[in-house]
Amino acid sequence: MSQRRISGFSKKSQHQKTRWLIEQYLQDIPEATSLLATYRHPDAKRQQRHDDFIENALTNYYLPYAVAPNFLIDGTLYALPMAIEESSVVAAASNAAKFWLDRGGFKATVLGTEKNGQIHFNYFGNKEVLASFFTDIKPILIDSISHLEKNMKARGGGLLAIDCIDKTETLEGYYQLHLRFETKDAMGANFINSCLEQVATTFEEKAAQHSPFIASQTIPEVVMSILSNYVPECRVRTEVSCPVTAFDTSDINGATFAENFVRAVEIAHADPRRAVTHNKGIMNGIDAVVLATGNDFRAVEAGVHAYAARNGRYQSLTHATIEDEQFHFWIELPLALGTVGGLTSLHPLADLSMKILQQPDAETLMRIVAVAGLAQNFAAVKSLVTTGIQKGHMKMHILNILSQLNATPSEKEATLKHFDTKVISHSAVTRYIESLRNHAPS
């Protein structure tokens, strides 16, 4: 164990870090060195850019990058870039896009773009004294970030409001300064956090000089300052609709299908266990586009799932109804995204994704990402209430199984043909590959 302890690791070269890792943890894995080297970019300048994204970078971790075409959104046709490893996600999104392409496409509306952050502080004194102090100090707090807001204000953004909120019912002595921001095309995390820290510093400085606080020996004390990834005021809605007869096929009665679809969504509203998996499917589409565009999918995930539980119980993010034989399906969710700053231009593929999406502004990207989630959910629920989720998923997953078995091109071709109308499982595919190899000419 003592040999594995190391100081100054971040200051070592990439070669030294890799050699240490191999010696301490991977000495019995002969292919480890070549594997780490293989996934580094051959262009040194491009690799250096990747290395600069994080500390202690050794190599790159690849995810498949694809596009899902035929997304008609508010009259504009898009191909959605998606980065994801899960089988069937891109295929499902593409199928949903194709279905709605000839039925009016997706309609999307941005309902708000406001973001927020808090300065959390302790105060155990007189509430009226604190309220009076905040009223007096508020203009000074706002003025203290004028130098930080200059560029953001030039783009039409900046601080919108600042309030002092009493949270003592939830935690003794707990208050917060709640700041609301508009950040336009930037996600705005660095801007918001810089503003919060400056306001916190000014707040503490003025509080330490305030006579009533000094006299009572109860001076407010800042605990921390940080933006919130819960942004219910930065919200988007997207929807589709069609007559129930649009679902008619030789195998399906459209009205029955629509009723079953609506019932499936209602179940996801009623049961949290179903809602979690239901919403995970939505996030398959959302995360894939968010990641491909260089945005923060962890922040999006956290905020979206908090929104799903806003009524005190975790529920479906999507809704479905039938009215006058018209099927309606929609989603409303918070999405704080950016099209400038961060990795959106630094990462070559994120930059390419923005070009594929025709250089959208933040509001347009919000609409596109929400549509990806709705399309993914439509495809998933459609499968669940008809053929079942595994038929389509396993047809895509069979390629992963064949890769694990090191199948040759001819073995892959034969296996795909064999399982075209059969139930797919890992064991069944393994047995079939073994049978091919046992009967192959020596």
CA-based angle 372:375:381, to the nearest 5? 135
Q: At how many degrees (to 10) do helices 348-356 and 272-292 cross?
A: 100
Q: Which residues pair with 327 in a beta bridge?
A: 242, 322
* The one-letter amino acid at 409: P
SS3 per-residue string spanning 382-424: HHHCCCCHHHHHHHHHHHHHHHHCCCCHHHHHHHHHHCCCCCC
Strands (E), 360-421: none
Q: Which residues are catalytic?
A: 86, 280, 296, 393
216-to-124, 127, 135 alpha-carbon distances in Å: 10, 12, 19
225 touches 117 (CB < 8 A): yes
State how far the alpha carbon of 184 is from the alpha carbons of 232, 261, 269, 350, in Å: 16, 37, 33, 19
CA distance 101 to 105: 5
Run of H or E including 323 = strand 318-323
Q: Say whether 104 sits in a helix, a strand or coil.
A: coil
Among residues 224, 183, 230, 109, the alpha carbon closest in space to that of 339 is found at 183
Distance separating alpha carbons of residues 59 and 51, to the nearest angstrom = 8
Strand partners, 179: 117, 162
User: Which of 65, 88, 1 lies closest to 388 in space, CA to CA?
Assistant: 88
Q: What tokens appear for 404 in the block?
A: 């694990």
Contact 119, 110 (CB under 8 A): no
Beta-bridge partners for 321: 328
Report strand pairing: 158-166 vs 235-243. Answer: unpaired
Task: Compute the Cα dihedral for 382, 384, 390, 391 and give only its sign.
Answer: negative
- Asked if residue 333 lies in contact with residue 235, where contact means CB atoms within 8 angstroms, the answer is yes
C-alpha span between 65 and 89 (Å, rounded):
12
For β-strands 158-166 and 174-182, DSSP reports them as: antiparallel
